[in-house]
Structure 1
Amino acid sequence: MRIVQRLGAAGIAALLVLAGTAPALAQDAQPQQQQAADDEKTPVTPETWAWHVQATDILQYYPPFHSAFQGQNSFKPQATTGNTFDATLYAGVKPWAGGEIWGNLEMYQGYAPNNTLGAAGYVNGDGAKVGRAHPYTRIARLFVRQTFDLGGEADDQEADLNALGERRTKDRVVLTAGKLNVTDIFDTNKYAHDPRGDFLNWSAITAGTLDYAADAWGYTYGAAAEWYRGDWAWRAGVFDLSIVPNNAVLTSDFSQFQVVGEAERRFTWEGHPGAVRLAGFVTRGGMGSYDDAVRLAIATGRPADTALVRRYRSRPGVYLNVEQEVADGVGVFGRLGFDDGSQESYEYTDVDRTAQAGVSVSGARWGRKGDTVGAAVVVNQISAAGQRYLNAGGLGILVGDGRLPHPGDEHIFEAYYAVGLAKGVTLSFDNQLVANPAYNRDRGPVDVVSLRLHLER
């Protein structure tokens, strides 16, 4: 395969490590008996307040690549670097029984390669769409969470970022409202969800088709309810959209909004935990039809522009999210996604169909408990209407090469090795190969190598 033939050094190293685990995986065909599973868990000590900090520095580079042409939203074909830095202060307090109030202050600085343009599966999931040379701060999250215990066996919450250590039961209702990221609650995955710790690519950390409501930094206002009963969970939420697609300003009255619903089933397979999540969402706001924009472009002789044909519409979508531990310290995951490709994407990125699969392996298997290695493959598609729009000179959220005479699926391979340097400190080596960036077979592939330093306390 073309994508395998062009793997960078980090990707090859990750595959070798994964291959090295194969004999151990075979030995684990019958899961090892875990004494801890038979023992009673030590109850969590409840917290009344907590604060945490994180800082993440990501340095990226790609060498020159083939490019027959380029446009306003293209990856530059010349050798390019990018560097982003962000830091977060998390502060939480428990004002009453079952309640939590959290606030996050974030600082940003730097630019991702090409200032976050060039591929639908963009290569830096921690880079804001608004890059600046000098540091600046924003309130990222400010929300209230209330948990109502409904009984059942203990299912304590371990202390974490934006979560106080808390004793709770497996059956419960959780209400969350305020400023947050939609993916704090929806489309979570143990192995592929955190660009500060695992995969970097936008379409690996969540379903590329989950066009979730957000400002340019990934946050919005909204509310969600979760009902946990046994091994099931049901979630629903409503969230505020930007005033126009891909804008930094949210509406002031929820006149444009998104509704998301998700069902989750947790289970064990051969003694190993897993989960399946199925969700749907509907976006309601002013959106432009791709074909309407193309027809107007033909009539006027100007490039296609969905901003000229926007009207209030609905744009639905669905995703399937799977995670499964298959041996001690070894997990596999996958996502499928689909949305209405007749209209422009609203907030996240330009993906109408997506499929991903990957594996994550803990370094404990070779005596490095703080290390993790992961590899994933993603295939993204844009609809036929979206292809016509891009070929007519249209620009999407992240893509737009000026024309698209030879469209193709965007193929992404990513591999990383995260080295635990000390408690709360990791250094990751990451390699991403993006074939047909922006769905364009006349450009690429782009081979992006990344170095990520992450501190968390």
Structure 2
Amino acid sequence: MNARHFLCYFLIVPITTFAQKQITFHFQQTVVSQTKPSISAPYSGNNSLVSNKETQASITATFFTGSKLWKGAEGYFDAELSGGSGLSGAKGIAGFTNGEAFRIGDSAPKIYLARFYLKQTIPLSKEYILVADGINQVATKYPTKYLRFVVGKFCLSDFFDNNSYSHDPRTQFLNWALMSNGAWDYAANVRGYTTGYVIEYGSPQLGVRFSTTAVPTTANGPDLNYNFAKNYSHSFEINKSIGQKTIIRALAYYTKTYMGNYTEAAQSTDKNIINTRKDGRTKVGFGLNAEQQLSPNSGLFFRTSWNDGRNETWAFTEIDQSISLGFSNNGTKWKRPNDTFGVAVVANGISKQHRNYLSEGGYGFMVGDGKLNYGLEKIFETYYNIHLHDKHFWLAPNYQFVVNPAYNKDRGPVNVFSLRAHAEF
């Protein structure tokens, strides 16, 4: 080894090793194309699903970075691009059919800051487990019991309402009511992100977490309200592992902000809920989330959620009650271990006050046909996620069948055919 080779080895190897241990870089890109045939629709309103045949596509691309900082501390920074549109501008179905479209506030592709947060872990035990490098996860070791603080900008679903089989629309089910509790009107801007803090206690069998986060300044708006004295959302969750195969998560939330009231809006002359907004309005809800491993290759999941539905939906989607059940299986039995097959059913409903408001011709930010012949919104979804090459590329055909879109028996049913392409490095 000559002097030049020795110098290169002396400088590059330690730097590379440091980067591998201290820094993480990842990238994802997801493209979803959806089409639906024409549907039966004797009448339509401002927020109706278009009755004609329609095709739309969305794209997201995210660059994930993270680094170890001081002892027990990690920092994460994600830049994201999104563009395109959901069917009918992501309107006309409460359990919307493209989980990537909810992050898109404008059809023109734009780059924005998705996450920027600090995570500090304080050990409560002397035993540690190794955690592999991943998306928003530096390779490190964590204590088996810990207290953790997260502060900054993030998505609440990064830390709450997880489920091994139904959580990520980039690799699992696409429907909004399957990627989280449908009636959890969780604090987020139009792209799905918020600012605040999370406090978490973790152990092998029990986890407890609490957050306070910012809500948008307007319903489904792009900007967050940082007047935490009057506008905020609390989320609380407990998860319990039962043996090695069962996990149950119980979630509750409380939001206070400048909301409109459905009853007042239904009784008003113009039926415009915006004109009924007042400070101090609240929304309370809960969710139950369970997963059951059937074998190393398959599992069942179940969710049910509810909110009081008195005041307007503010951030996620217009669902006040929801229940879902599904099954997931990878392709090990047919020698395709990196493939995944899933099938699920969902039923969504709304409160009596919400129902009356829509019946009187009112509009939310997602649904409203001008009038309403109420029925539960029922959804069936199935997908097959095909692994194409070396853990980096997947292609997933997907089918969804929606009965009573936007809770209206007079419209639909809707057949939605999708193709999702996902790359991850």
Q: TM-score range by the shorter chain?
A: over 0.9
Give the AA of the match of 1:93: S
Alpha-carbon deviations, 1:223-255, whole Å to 9, x = none? 001101341110000000011222111113323
Question: What SS does the aligned partner of 1:160 have?
Answer: coil
Aligned counterpart, 1:263: 238
CA distance in 2, matches of 1:50, 1:140: 17
Alpha-carbon distance change, 329 to 152 in structure 1, aligned in 2, over 3 angstroms: farther
Confirm whether residue 155 of structure 1 aligns to residue 129 of structure 2: yes
Question: What SS does the aligned partner of 2:266 have?
Answer: helix
Alignment of 1:291-310 (within 5 A): 291-296=263-268, 300=269, 302=270, 304-310=271-277
CA distance in 2, matches of 1:419, 1:199: 13
Give the AA of the match of 1:364: T
Question: What SS does the aligned partner of 1:155 have?
Answer: strand
Could you tell me how far 1:342 is from its partner in structure 2? Answer: 1.5
Question: Which fold has the larger relative contact order, with Cα–Cα distance below 8 Å and residues 6 or more apart in sequence?
Answer: 1
CA distance in 1, matches of 2:240, 2:126: 17
CA distance in 1, matches of 2:322, 2:129: 34
Alignment of 1:388-403 (within 5 A): 388-403=356-371
Question: What SS does the aligned partner of 1:318 have?
Answer: strand
Aligned counterpart, 2:178: 204
CA distance in 2, matches of 1:129, 1:99: 28
For structure 1, the 5+ residue unaligned runs are 1-44
Confirm whether residue 367 of structure 1 aligns to residue 341 of structure 2: no
Alpha-carbon deviations, 1:66-113, whole Å to 9, x = none? 111111111101000010011000111111111111111001121111
Confirm whether residue 288 of structure 1 aligns to residue 260 of structure 2: yes
Give the AA of the match of 1:256: N
The alignment's TM-score, normalised by the length of structure 2, stands at: 0.93
Question: What SS does the aligned partner of 1:396 have?
Answer: coil
CA distance in 2, matches of 1:129, 1:82: 15
Give the AA of the match of 1:283: T
Aligned counterpart, 1:409: 376
Alignment of 1:305-454 (within 5 A): 305-311=272-278, 312-404=280-372, 406-422=373-389, 423-454=391-422
Question: What SS does the aligned partner of 1:156 have?
Answer: strand
Aligned counterpart, 2:16: none
Give the AA of the match of 1:143: Y
Aligned counterpart, 1:80: 54
Alpha-carbon deviations, 1:232-286, whole Å to 9, x = none? 1100000000112221111133231100000110122xxx522100011000011
Question: What SS does the aligned partner of 1:104 have?
Answer: strand
Give the alignment partner of residue 146 of structure 2, picking from 163, 166, 172. Answer: 172
Aligned counterpart, 2:11: none
- Equivalent pair of 1:126/1:195 in contact (CA under 8 Å): yes
Aligned counterpart, 1:143: 117
- Equivalent pair of 2:82/2:104 in contact (CA under 8 Å): no
Alignment of 1:57-96 (within 5 A): 57-96=31-70
Alpha-carbon deviations, 1:362-409, whole Å to 9, x = none? 1112110110000110000011111110011111131111111x2000
CA distance in 2, matches of 1:365, 1:394: 51
Give the AA of the match of 2:41: S
Alpha-carbon distance change, 324 to 82 in structure 1, aligned in 2, over 3 angstroms: same
- Equivalent pair of 1:46/1:166 in contact (CA under 8 Å): no
Alpha-carbon distance change, 131 to 344 in structure 1, aligned in 2, over 3 angstroms: closer
Give the AA of the match of 1:264: N
Aligned counterpart, 2:6: none
The alignment's TM-score, normalised by the length of structure 1, stands at: 0.86
Could you tell me how far 1:158 is from its partner in structure 2? Answer: 2.2
- Equivalent pair of 1:112/1:131 in contact (CA under 8 Å): no
Alpha-carbon distance change, 83 to 234 in structure 1, aligned in 2, over 3 angstroms: same
Aligned counterpart, 1:108: 82
Alpha-carbon distance change, 133 to 210 in structure 1, aligned in 2, over 3 angstroms: closer
Could you tell me how far 1:153 is from its partner in structure 2? Answer: 3.9
Identity %: 34
For structure 2, the 5+ residue unaligned runs are 1-18
Question: What SS does the aligned partner of 2:210 have?
Answer: strand
Aligned counterpart, 1:30: none
CA distance in 2, matches of 1:205, 1:184: 11
